[in-house]
């Protein structure tokens, strides 16, 4: 007999599952193998991480008296060593097992065993709380570093956390943009005076007026009320020192935020995600925002943008190469030339098309030849035909495993009743058919499900939603 191994691969917070036939095996050895698997499964994840985890700060490896551990996909390190390396002062409250670290204007507070942490007084929910290992308190390195203004990247292949401290200029610029967005949050909900923008925006930016035509967006005082409008989900993407002619700009900061307007009649306009680049200059020896450039605008029913680091891009690429005979571009081409149009046209002609004419009947026959008899008799086929799509839907392969003759994939569909995206997810297999007129044929459609909106997908299937965000951003970066 042959042993079929089901395996899962984890990186960037995502889990991908596949299967391989590895080698011939006798039954008596199969029992030992399965017992070994069960034993390994019973061990905590920190025990199973055979390769030691290293942490670097600005390229230099940090030394710890207790080694870092990996728990539920998060790396924890001794708190005193990491805080001191990042230049923070520490206050330890032994009665509550709470550490407070301060660096400049930033304050971070964590309590052992508690998933709620605080940055500058604001709550932050952690995936993994601080814990005690061998008499040392370990804290999640990504949260701590992010909170103190450092960049963090995880190199899964080498089991290394790379931390890079931002320059003082970058930290000042980021703080100024955060001040602006905090004031903007107040401005869109209750209004603020021109005086309050001074010291945050340049005089030219303030004098340029209000709205989208100004050098930097701000609403006109008196035109907003207690409406529930707000700015949320603020994310600093990058900060770059400017070189060359840039109209006097010293540094730029790219930030994303969501503008919420519950009073907007159009549901798709109630949440809009903006990505903007802010250019800062020195004015009276103080950094101020002089102008902004909108780089992306996405509405509530669009897939939100997320930041993918260089290491994450490399990890996704390496994982794809391990799992697939076809490269990413080739699978995208198969998706766009076969998978998406065949599914879309089939759904359309069966639900709303005219099959009473000879041409309509012939078209349906051609489309159905792309699906095996087993598929057309399956529950997945009926679930697929029952999808509520009011306009031509589109389908995109999120992840795949492939051989030369077969592709197995998780598929994301966008269904368009009216103007709102209705997301759908399904699992498919397609098989190459060299002896027929069509190159590929669907041999499996199953686990078809749809949701009212992306928020429901995120709530019901957070792993699929996270995969959707990451692969959508990866696809845009990859194609670019």
In the predicted model, what is the mean pLDDT of residues 446-475? Answer: 86
What is the pLDDT at residue 223? 61
Burial tier of 280 (Cβ tally within 10 Å: 0-12, 13-18, 19+): buried
Q: Specify whether 375 is located in the same domain as 474.
A: yes
Is the same domain home to 141 and 275? no
pLDDT in tens, 11-40: 434 444 444 444 444 555 555 555 554 544
Percent of the chain with pLDDT over 90: 30
pLDDT winner (highest mean) among 166-175, 383-392, 449-458: 166-175
Domain of residue 250, CATH code: 3.10.450.540
Range scoring the smallest mean pLDDT among 185-194, 235-244, 247-256, 368-377: 235-244
Residue that finishes a domain, picked among 299, 327, 348: 299
CATH number, domain of 447, equals: 3.10.450
Residues 14 and 74 in one domain: no
Q: Give the pLDDT confidence score for residue 16 in this predicted structure.
A: 44
Q: Residue 88 belongs to what domain range? A: 54-165
Is 324 in the same domain as 465?
yes
| Domain shared by 362 and 324, yes or no | yes
Looking at the predicted structure, is the pLDDT value of residue 477 above 70? no
Q: What is the mean pLDDT of residues 276-280?
A: 94
Q: Are both 355 and 462 inside the same structural domain?
A: yes
Single out the residue in 115, 135, 165 at which a domain terminates: 165
Q: Are residues 265 and 410 in the same domain?
A: no
Q: Where does a domain end: 299, 321, 339?
A: 299
| Domains contained in the chain, number | 4
Binned at pLDDT 50, 70 and 90, residue 355 comes out as low
Residue 41: pLDDT over 60: no
**Residue 47 resides in a domain:** no
Between residues 365 and 27, the one the model is more confident about: 365
Alpha-carbon gap, residue 407 to 375, rounded angstroms: 15
* Residue closest to 118 by CA, chosen among 133, 138, 132, 139: 139
- Residue that wins the pLDDT comparison between 18 and 181: 181
Q: What is the pLDDT of residue 36?
A: 55
Domain contains 304? no
Task: Read off the pLDDT of each residue in 204-228 and give the average, rounded to a whole number.
Answer: 82
Mean pLDDT, the chain, integer: 80
Is the pLDDT score of 268 beyond 90? no
Across 149-162, average pLDDT: 80
Quick one: pLDDT at residue 276? 92
Q: How far apart are CA 374 and CA 387, in angstroms?
A: 20
pLDDT mean over 211-237:
80
Domain assignment of residue 268, yes or no: yes
Say which CATH number the domain at 151 has: 3.30.457.10
Range with lowest mean pLDDT among 45-59, 92-106, 276-290, 420-434: 45-59
Query: Does 387 fall in a domain?
Result: yes
Q: Are residues 287 and 206 in the same domain?
A: yes
Residues 37 and 110 in one domain: no
Question: Would residue 205 count as lying in a domain?
Answer: yes
Above 50 in pLDDT, residue 47?
Answer: no
């Amino acid at each position: 007999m042959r042993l079929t191994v089901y395996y899962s691969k984890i990186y960037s917070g995502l889990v991908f599952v596949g299967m391989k036939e590895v080698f011939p095996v006798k039954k008596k050895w199969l029992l030992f193998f399965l017992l070994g698997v069960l034993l390994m499964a019973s061990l905590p994840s920190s025990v199973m991480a055979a390769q030691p985890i290293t942490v670097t700060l600005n390229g230099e490896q940090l030394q710890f008296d207790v080694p870092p551990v990996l728990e539920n996909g998060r790396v924890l390190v001794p708190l005193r060593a990491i805080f001191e390396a990042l230049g923070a002062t520490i206050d330890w409250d032994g009665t509550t097992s709470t550490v407070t670290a301060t660096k400049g204007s930033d304050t971070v507070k964590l309590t052992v065993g508690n998933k709620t942490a605080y940055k500058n007084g604001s709550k932050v929910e952690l995936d993994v709380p601080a814990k005690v290992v061998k008499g040392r308190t370990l804290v999640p390195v990504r949260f701590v570093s992010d909170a103190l203004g450092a960049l963090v990247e995880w190199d899964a292949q080498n089991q290394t956390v790379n931390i890079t401290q931002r320059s003082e200029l970058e930290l000042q610029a980021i703080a100024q943009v955060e001040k602006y967005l905090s004031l903007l949050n107040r401005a869109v909900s209750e209004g603020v005076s021109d005086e309050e923008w001074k010291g945050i925006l340049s005089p030219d930016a303030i004098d340029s007026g209000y709205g989208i035509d100004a050098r930097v967006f701000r609403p006109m005082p008196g035109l907003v009320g207690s409406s529930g409008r707000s700015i949320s989900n603020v994310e600093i993407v990058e900060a770059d020192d400017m070189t060359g002619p840039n109209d006097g700009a010293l540094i730029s900061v790219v930030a994303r935020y969501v503008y919420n307007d519950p009073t907007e009649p159009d549901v798709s306009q109630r949440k809009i995600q903006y990505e903007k680049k802010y250019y800062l200059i020195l004015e009276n020896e103080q950094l101020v925002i002089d102008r902004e450039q909108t780089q992306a605008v996405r509405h509530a029913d669009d897939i939100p943008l997320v930041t993918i680091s260089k290491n994450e891009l490399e990890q996704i690429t390496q994982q794809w190469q391990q799992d697939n005979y076809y490269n990413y571009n080739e699978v995208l081409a198969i998706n766009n030339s076969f998978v998406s149009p065949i599914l879309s046209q089939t759904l359309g002609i069966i639900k709303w098309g005219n099959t009473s004419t000879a041409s309509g009947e012939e078209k349906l026959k051609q489309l159905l030849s792309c699906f095996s008899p087993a598929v057309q008799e399956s529950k997945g086929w009926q679930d697929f035909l029952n999808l509520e799509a009011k306009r031509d839907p589109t389908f995109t392969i999120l992840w795949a495993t492939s051989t030369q003759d077969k592709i197995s994939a998780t598929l994301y569909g966008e269904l368009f009743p009216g103007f709102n995206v209705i997301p759908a997810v399904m699992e498919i297999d397609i098989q190459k058919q060299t002896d027929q007129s069509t190159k590929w044929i669907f041999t499996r459609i199953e686990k078809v499900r749809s949701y009212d909106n992306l928020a429901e997908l995120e709530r019901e299937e957070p792993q699929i939603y996270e995969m959707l965000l990451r692969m959508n951003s990866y696809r845009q970066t990859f194609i670019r």
